[in-house]
């Protein structure tokens, strides 16, 4: 009778889906940072979404909640040297791959923000603007952005004249003027046009 009723069968477990996103493709300075997040369906987090649409205060609050309540969170990076060697697209794929590999729990599926997937050891689907469509990708976008923004705060302490605390390494007018005045440091991406142009002018 137990066999007929299925009472001795293991309980069904939901698929473990991780969201993956990156931060830092556009900046002239620093690593590209990716995050992978497996949310806990039994411990939902309200307010998740595209990190770029959230205030810094809200992002910081959600960042702490995600680390506390998610089933697994992992961060992957690609260095400035890897960005210059591989190009920013391939370096972003590498950072995302490292983030997924670093998860303490192996996902059954990965949902990737964008239009292509990095090589992974699990099935993956790319979703354009996925950070606004899938909460697990939204969670990953928050982890990646807050992590990289905090990296820039630390680099600002070392290189205060670039204004990294304000523009986070993006090619703003302030950053370009600082580059022209102070030159290029070891964390600038030499393969990016504005940085390469400064280097060409140096004796």
Q: What per-residue confidence (pLDDT) applies to 8?
A: 55
Task: Yes or no: say if 141 and 47 are a contact pair by the CB < 8 Å rule.
Answer: no
Written as tens digits, the pLDDT of the chain (203 aa) is 444 454 555 554 448 999 999 999 999 999 999 999 999 999 999 988 778 889 999 999 999 999 999 999 999 999 999 999 999 999 999 999 999 999 999 999 999 999 999 999 999 999 999 999 999 999 999 999 999 999 999 999 999 999 999 999 999 999 999 999 999 999 999 999 999 999 987 76
| Boundaries of every domain in the chain | 15-150
Per-residue confidence (pLDDT) for residue 2, from 0 to 100: 45
Q: Which pLDDT score is estimated for 42?
A: 92
Q: What is the pLDDT of residue 53?
A: 87
Q: What angle do CA 13, 142, 193 make, to 5 degrees?
A: 130
pLDDT for the residue numbered 49 = 79
What is the domain class of 15-150 according to CATH?
Answer: alpha beta
The pLDDT value given to residue 51? 82
Name every residue whose Cβ is closer than 8 Å to that of residue 201 and which is 6 or more positions away in sequence. none
Tokens of 61: 């609050």
**Cα dihedral 74→79→83→86 (10° resolution):** -80
CB of 125 closer than 8 Å to CB of 112: yes
pLDDT of residue 9: 52
Confidence at residue 12, expressed as pLDDT on a 0 to 100 scale: 47
User: For residue 185, which of 151, 162, 166 has the smallest C-alpha distance?
Assistant: 162
DSSP helix/strand/coil, 149: helix
- Predicted TM-score (pTM) of this structure: 0.90
């Amino acid at each position: 009778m137990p066999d007929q009723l299925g009472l001795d069968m293991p309980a069904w477990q939901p698929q473990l889906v991780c969201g993956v996103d990156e931060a830092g493709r556009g900046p002239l300075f620093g690593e590209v940072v990716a995050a992978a997040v497996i949310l806990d369906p039994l411990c939902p987090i309200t307010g998740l979404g595209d990190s770029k649409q959230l205030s810094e205060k809200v992002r910081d609050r959600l960042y702490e909640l995600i680390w506390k309540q998610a089933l697994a969170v992992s961060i992957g990076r690609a260095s400035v040297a890897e960005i210059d060697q591989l190009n920013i697209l391939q370096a972003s794929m590498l950072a995302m791959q490292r983030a997924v590999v670093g998860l303490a729990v192996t996902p059954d599926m990965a949902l990737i923000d964008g239009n292509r997937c990095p090589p992974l050891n699990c099935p993956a689907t790319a979703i354009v603007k996925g950070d606004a469509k899938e909460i697990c990708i939204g969670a990953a976008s928050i982890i990646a952005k807050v992590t990289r923004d905090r990296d820039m705060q630390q680099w600002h302490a070392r290189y205060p004249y670039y204004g990294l605390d304000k523009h986070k390494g993006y090619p703003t007018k302030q950053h370009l003027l600082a580059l022209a005045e102070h030159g290029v440091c070891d964390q600038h991406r030499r393969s990016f046009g504005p940085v390469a142009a400064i280097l060409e002018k140096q004796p």
